[in-house]
Chains A and B, each alone.
Chain A
Amino acid sequence: MKFYGKGLPNLNPKDLLGKLIVVEGADGSGRSTQIRLLTDWLEGHGHATVNVGLKRSTLVSNELATAMQGNILSPITLSLFYATDFADQLENTIVPALKAGFIVLADRYIYTLIARDIVRGGNPEWLFQLYTNIALVPDAVFYLDVAPRFLIERNFQKNASLNYWESGMDIHLSRDIFDSFLKYQRKMKAEYRQLNERFHFEIIRGNRSPRAISLEIQTKIEKLLTE
């Protein structure tokens, strides 16, 4: 494996024997369903698998949760809080698992973190430097591409409501959450398209049955594992 940038202190990426597979996509794009199906499939085939996601670090996840409750943190502080959360999981979960030869399935990675902040007016170069210096280049990134109007339907089916942050209500695109969600998700989609130029995702058409999507991803992972 390799790093995008200079990497982490005291770590030789050659020691990382496992595979890092990332699933990216908006809320309601079916990420967690796909991760579940992939975990079953991989474990069924005898591959030790570890799941990671955002906001799950021991170090700062509680503080992040508190911060999300109110407008406690300013934008750069929030970016850095997320970066800390990411780095903590990278070093304490992802790297050890990869060293042990596990397959790590990441529910979102640096791309979502970067896209969110750019949409919120963050400086792209600053964000690229912040994350790419420390992040490992995944073996594959599957981006579940779903049109915002379908995302809305899926979010309503799941929760009968739209999430404040996933609707971008904090950046005041509209007072109406429905309207804001569509606007925000369109911006996010445009941003992922930009990021794709730089990071090269496998774009997966997300508006299909979970089985069909999973089969497509499985075929691609199979190729990766036999390489």
Chain B
Amino acid sequence: MGNLTKHICKGRLIAVEGLDGSGKSTQIYLLKRWLELEGYKVFFTEWNSSLLVKKATKKGKKARLLTPTTFSLIHCTDFADRYERQIWPLLCAGYIVLADRYFFTAFARDAVRGCDRQWVMNNYSFATLPDITFYFKLQPQIAINRILDGRPTLKYHEAGMDLNLAADPYESFAIFQGRINDEYSKMAKKFNFQVINAGRSAEEQQKLVRKVVSEQIDLPAFKLRVRGRL
């Protein structure tokens, strides 16, 4: 148990991972736009966005009720809700599912928070491995600067303040992101991440992403067929 396996559905799952500020959301958005405009069946899903679960997560974060264990479990619950209701059925139906963060985010964050790695992996083992995982690799210092440039106030958990790494949120954020980066690096080989140098221009990155996708996925099979008029 705790072994992750890959689905045998008609659909394909593409996940993006990387530090906050690595630009992965922009990249997956551009990928989504391209696939949509080309007329493929696409569905997009985002970390921590299930409506019902999100309410509890928000409350927990606000009141700082969360421990590493409940933090892990509530994110897993959120993921399961999206997985069971959308990701899995859509994969079965032959969609290209795009996930902005997937269970690797939990593996990295929860490990940094001290949860047992095997336990976390087992908890997520109901879900399939992605067909392609893009990892947007960026030096933590650059990612940190990007975040700090745009959004000067850091959220408590985002900065890893619950870990008591440093009294100063900026310092804490830097240490926390550094550790998450280490976790990603460890996973990159094991899970066969497609590593994208996130220090390059957005256009260059997107070009590479589209190239990998068209090489590894038989895109014409995912054309949305519209019956009737034409």
- Taking beta carbons and an 8 Å cutoff, which residues of A are in contact with B? 5-6, 8-10, 58-60, 62-63, 66-67, 72-77, 80-81, 83-84, 87-88, 90-92, 123, 125-126, 129-130, 133-134
Interface centre among A59, A90, A125 (most CB of B within 10 A): A59
B60 to chain A, nearest CB (A): 5
Instruction: Label chain B's interface by main secondary structure.
Output: helix
Which A residues touch B20, using CB under 8 A?
none
Q: Is the CB of A6 within 8 A of B65?
A: no
- Supply 14 A–B pairs (Cβ within 8 Å), ascending by A: A9-B67, A9-B68, A9-B114, A10-B114, A60-B56, A62-B56, A63-B53, A77-B80, A80-B123, A84-B56, A84-B70, A84-B77, A87-B67, A133-B118
Q: Is the CB of A80 within 8 A of B60?
A: no
Q: Is the CB of A77 within 8 A of B119?
A: no
Which B residues touch A67, using CB under 8 A?
52
Contact with A along B104-144 (1 / 0, CB 8 A): 00000000011110110011011000000000000000000
Contact with A along B51-68 (1 / 0, CB 8 A): 011011001100101111
Closest residue of A by beta carbon distance from B69: A87
Q: Determine whether B85 belongs to the interface, using a CB cutoff of 8 Å to chain A.
A: yes
B1 to chain A, nearest CB (A): 4
Which A residues touch B113, using CB under 8 A?
9
Closest residue of B by beta carbon distance from A86: B73
Provide the bound-state CA to CA distance between A49 and B81, in Å: 36
A169 to chain B, nearest CB (A): 20
Contact with A along B63-101 (1 / 0, CB 8 A): 101111110011011001101110000000000000000
Provide the bound-state CA to CA distance between A133 and B60, in Å: 22
Given known A10-B114, A59-B60, contact A88–B70 (CB-CB < 8 A): yes
Q: Is the CB of A76 within 8 A of B56?
A: no
Given known A59-B65, A60-B56, contact A125–B77 (CB-CB < 8 A): no
Given known A63-B55, A129-B1, A129-B119, contact A77–B65 (CB-CB < 8 A): no
Which B residues touch A5, using CB under 8 A?
116, 119
Which B residues touch A88, using CB under 8 A?
65, 67, 70
Which 6 A-B pairs give the minimum distances between C-beta atoms?
Answer: A9-B114, A74-B84, A80-B77, A84-B73, A125-B1, A77-B80
A43 to chain B, nearest CB (A): 28
Question: In residues 170-207 of chain B, which contact A (Cβ within 8 Å)?
Answer: none
Closest residue of A by beta carbon distance from B2: A129
Q: Is the CB of A74 within 8 A of B119?
A: no
Q: Is the CB of A59 within 8 A of B56?
A: yes
Closest residue of B by beta carbon distance from A134: B69
Which B residues touch A74, using CB under 8 A?
80-81, 84-85
Provide the bound-state CA to CA distance between A62 and B52, in Å: 10
Which B residues touch A87, using CB under 8 A?
67, 69-70, 73
Provide the bound-state CA to CA distance between A90 and B74, in Å: 15
